[in-house]
Amino acid sequence: MRSQKDPGTPAKNAEPTTVDVAIVGAGLAGTTLATLLGRDGRKVALIDPHQTHPDEFRAEKLGTGQGRLFEKLGLDSIVLPLMTPMDDIHVFRLGQLFARERRVEYGFSYGALINGLRAALPPQVPVTVAKVAEITTGPDKQRLVLNTGAIIEARLLVVATGHSEAVRRAIGVRRIEDSKGHSLSIGFDLAIPPSECGFQAVTCFSSRPEDRMAYISVFPIGGVMRANMFGYRQANEPWTKAFRKDPQKMLCEMMPEIAAQCGNFKVSGPVEIRPIDLTRTEGHRRDGVVFIGDAFCTTCPTPGVGITRVMADVDQLYSVHIPRWLETPGMAADKICAFYDDPVKVATDEDGMRVSYYARSITTGTGLEWRMRRLRNNTARQLMIIGRKIRHFGQRPAAVAKMQ
């Protein structure tokens, strides 16, 4: 049993509200879990300091497989109307059109997604807007004192506070930085509207290793063409400062093969630059409390697996573990550890880390092994491009475009 108190916010005496599950953090993990538990009639408290989730740069594109995760949990009817679908993605590699992918993906603004999920919460599970001032966890009962004076008692505490450290620190867990400054994510709007852009959506892989950029993805969110670029730079190095100053010039130099169709990369609005660390948690195997989503570990956005990891946590916790845990008395660490040792969770987290390291090495690795791998991959791609050109030689361009 342990207790932490924010000295600036003395708690008043109040009648505690008793729930099955208290969830701290109403982001993607917390809000989806609260929705699912609330639909099943569980008593849930969901706490977040912000009434409205800020419109910050986070995940903005949902892959086909990620869409299926929401579908599996019956959340697709909430999330898909908040997103812009696309089903014709031009992929450029080695400076040339490599493929036209006809699978369905979705563009969205993170703040709008989370606020939409919050608006669709079951009526008996509102967001309690407050900060947690005091936390006591134990094998039977978890107790939260909020800065409003309200007290919440729960059988299980779920920490879903993303990157934020306050609650994690109060409970006494540590974040381990496995790869600090692992990558850089850059987001900005293009001035060209979707109706005038030469592509419905385009992904262009960098053909110049010296740029240390993996790829740019340009896609619609409502009436705006949004760009996400992922690479391996530091936030404070001259390249990044130069990009912030004149993104249009640098993009035209880096990705000339798609520049004209993207309005010559004229940018509107701010360039958002986020350094990414790969992190995991230590000291989390304890009574009464479970850490999920980015509050448990963070991976790299380049391979786009963050949402997969978050939703796997939510799915396993909701479908497998919480029902079992609530069936019997107590919430000691042995119950909680079944989640951390869940093979689906373990495999999803490990895969997220593995592809995060792989994406960086295949883009920037200078050792012989990585140079050989790049050579092998690029040779295979070049042969595919040549093979397709030979197959389509003599056909009319419109017919070729349809077949690609």
Binding segment for ligand FAD among 92-100, 204-212, 297-305, 354-362 (CB under 6 A)? 297-305
H-type alpha helices, 287-367? 306-316, 322-327, 333-340, 343-364
Which residue type, as a one-letter code, is found at position 242?
A: A
Least distance to ligand FAD from the beta carbon of 162, Å?
3
Q: Is 29 in the site for ligand FAD (CB under 6 A)?
A: yes
Cα separation, 110 vs 83, whole angstroms: 10
Residues 316-355 that bind ligand FAD (CB under 6 A): none
Contacting range for ligand FAD; rule: CB under 6 A; set: 55-63, 218-226, 237-245, 385-393: 55-63
Binding test (CB under 6 A) with ligand FAD, winner from 37, 44, 46, 57: 57
Q: How far is the CB of 30 from ligand FAD (least distance, A)?
A: 6
DSSP state of 207: S
Site for ligand FAD in 169-188 (CB under 6 A): 185
> How far apart are alpha carbons 284 and 112 in whole angstroms?
31
**Using the rule CB under 6 A, which residue among 78, 125, 127, 132 binds ligand FAD?**
132
Question: Minimal distance in Å, beta carbon 230 to ligand FAD?
Answer: 8
25 conformational bin, left if phi > 0, alpha if psi -120 to 50, beta if neither: left
Q: Which of residues 245-284 bind ligand FAD (CB under 6 A)?
A: 274
Q: Rounded distance, CA 177 to CA 207, Å?
A: 30
Helix (H, G, I), strand (E, B) or coil at 72: helix
Phi then psi for residue 100, to 5 deg, are -115, 115
Shortest spacing between CB 23 and ligand FAD, in angstroms: 9
* Spatial distance between the Cα atoms of 212 and 207, rounded to a whole number of angstroms: 10
Measured from the CB atom, the residue of 28 and 154 that comes closer to ligand FAD is 28
Q: Taking the complex as a whole, how short is the minimal distance between the CB of residue 65 and ligand FAD, in angstroms? A: 10
Determine the interface stretch with ligand FAD among 33-41, 48-56, 118-126, 252-260 (rule: CB under 6 A): 48-56
Q: Which of 105, 211, 287, 294 binds ligand FAD (CB under 6 A)?
A: 294
Interface pick for ligand FAD out of 290, 307, 311, 312 (rule CB under 6 A): 307
Burial of 289 (0-12, 13-18, 19+ CB in 10 A): buried
β-pairing, 127-129 vs 105-107, is unpaired
Handedness of CA 204, 209, 211, 213 (dihedral sign): positive
| 356 in Cβ contact with 300 (< 8 Å) | yes
Is residue 107 near ligand FAD by the rule CB under 6 A? no
Using the rule CB under 6 A, which residue among 227, 305, 311, 336 binds ligand FAD?
Answer: 305
| DSSP character at residue 163 | T
Least spacing, CB of residue 299 vs ligand FAD, in Å: 7
Angle at which helix 238-245 crosses helix 247-254, to 10 degrees, equals 110
134 binds ligand FAD (CB under 6 A): no
Q: Which residues bind ligand FAD (CB under 6 A)?
A: 24-30, 47-50, 53, 57-59, 61, 131-132, 160-162, 164, 166-167, 185, 274, 293-295, 301, 304-307, 310
